[in-house]
Structure 1
Amino acid sequence: MSEENTVLDAFRALTTAAVSDALDRLGIDGQAAGIGRVAGGGTVAGRAYTVRYEPVGVDGGSVGDFIDDVRPGDVVVLANAGRLTGTIWGGLLSETAARRGVAATVVDGACRDVARARELGYSLYSRTVWMRTGKDRVRAEAIGVPVSIGGVRVRPGDIVVADDDGTLVVPAGRADAVLAAAREIETTEQAIRAEVAAGARLDEARARHRYHRLQQAVPGAVAP
């Protein structure tokens, strides 16, 4: 197994809750606000393939003719500045992405045809669902550039992790540190669960494992 697959598999074995606490501990702002799952299941993790949108001008433009260039395993990140004027992801894109082995799509805006994405089992995250088309309203302005979704900066190649609790972004250069912290946090929570299952009080088990300080920033930690 390649080092790349090992890292992504390790993130898939975690929850976004554990990864989120790890980001907090390391002083990294990576939780994308307001973008939740509308289709699919489990935890997804993949490298970001970024697309930035803008309002359409007099010269028109396309909302989604990039999908055939996305690598299998990547996560499509569509930055539409939270605009809800029209959708930028629908059934044809879900079908093509699923066929190509794309891991997921994250939309900072609106999507549609979610029933089809659910039939396919394709993981789709969005700020809202609405049937109104984005064609002639917005266009894909740039591909493979740094973007912002849910108040979080995303660079091409960053790791996007998402599950039923939401979406977050791990900077590529901090993946190992975030992974180590998240594993430690999850191991600690598992130890607390085991003690409670054996009859311990939750408050006492939490105190023994310093639960309320697990997410606190490490002194001297600097975000990238």
Structure 2
Amino acid sequence: MTRETMGRIDPRLIRLFDLPAAPEGVVVALAAIDGPCELVSDALDDLGFDGVIAASVLRPTIAGATMVGPAITLRNRPLEADPFVVAREGHMNRQADFEAHNLTRPGDVLVIEGRQGISNLGGISATMGKRQGGLGAVIDGGIRDVRHSRRIGYPVWCSDITARTGRWRQETVEINGPVTIRGVPVHPGDIVCADDSAVCIIPLALADEVTRRVLKRVVTDRASLDFLATDRPLSEFPRPDARNFRE
């Protein structure tokens, strides 16, 4: 990648401040759950935050993948110039996902407010993220080189898979600022939880309470499954009080 083809972004738009740390134990506790999004979704419902995006909307590229980690955010916007003219004459790539990877800490999740029908992340970018210890990406928009990102174990939840590059069609305007993913606000440091069912965004201020409620549900669900593993009749199945999930 040459200086002429690398993305350019005004350094003033890259927020270099230290991201807030997740409450101790939150990421570890949620990541230890097999398929955590259902329980996280229920807890977010109880707390009145609509932070769930269905996996049929943002589809995972690697079946069975799960990731839980703090968000590092990036926002793209369309370029007004004719992309074919830019590609033919300018060769100026204004995407700057590599700058976000440069700020990535091990365990971070890249969250991109991007464009539909074009790539916001390709194979080189996925390799950068993997090299820096990023868990994967959530992208409201398209990606390409999906075979490569699958091969290196860098899962992506995205709306489109396409060969059409975004390099001449959009530009990065901010890193580590607020973004919106399918109507859900995401701030740097918010906890991203993603699996085969959904992508869930947990505001940092709710992370402790969401985790507490989720761990309580793990216990009650385990008790239900233990009962179902017996030969006892379903008429004896314990019906949990809905309040148990909210207290």
The answer to whether residue 66 in structure 2 is matched with residue 25 in structure 1 is no
Of residues 94, 100, 105, the one that matches 1:71 is 105
Distance in 2 of aligned mates of 1:35 and 1:215: 31
Is contact 1:73-1:101 (8 Å) kept?
yes
Check 1:13–1:203 CA distance in 2 against 1; reply closer, same or farther (3 A cut). farther
TM-score normalised by length of structure 1:
0.85
1:124 alignment partner in structure 2: 156
Which is higher, the Rg of structure 1 or of structure 2?
Answer: 2
TM-score normalised by length of structure 2:
0.78
Check 1:96–1:189 CA distance in 2 against 1; reply closer, same or farther (3 A cut). same
Distance in 1 of aligned mates of 2:244 and 2:159: 26
Check 1:201–1:128 CA distance in 2 against 1; reply closer, same or farther (3 A cut). farther
Is contact 2:116-2:140 (8 Å) kept?
no
Deviation at 1:43, TM superposition (A): 2.2
Local SS of the residue matching 1:73:
coil
Is contact 1:108-1:126 (8 Å) kept?
yes
Q: How does 1:1-224 map to 2 (within 5 A)?
A: 6-14=25-33, 15-33=36-54, 34-39=57-62, 41-58=64-81, 61-66=94-99, 67-80=101-114, 83-201=115-233, 205=237, 208-210=239-241, 213=242, 218=246
Check 1:93–1:214 CA distance in 2 against 1; reply closer, same or farther (3 A cut). farther
Give the residue type in structure 2 aligned to 1:9: V
Local SS of the residue matching 1:93:
helix
Distance in 1 of aligned mates of 2:190 and 2:22: 15
1:222 alignment partner in structure 2: none
Is contact 2:74-2:97 (8 Å) kept?
no
- Unpaired runs of 5+ residues, structure 1, are 220-224
Local SS of the residue matching 1:110:
strand
Deviation at 1:62, TM superposition (A): 2.1
- Give identity over the alignment, percent: 33
Local SS of the residue matching 2:61:
strand
Distance in 2 of aligned mates of 1:209 and 1:215: 7
Is contact 2:142-2:158 (8 Å) kept?
yes
Local SS of the residue matching 2:75:
strand
Local SS of the residue matching 1:86:
coil
Deviation at 1:214, TM superposition (A): 7.0
Q: Describe the superposition over 1:10-64 as per-residue Cα deviations: whole angstroms up to 9, x where unpaired.
A: 1102211111111111111111241121137442111110111110144962252
Is contact 1:40-1:118 (8 Å) kept?
no
Distance in 2 of aligned mates of 1:91 and 1:135: 13
Aligned residues: 212
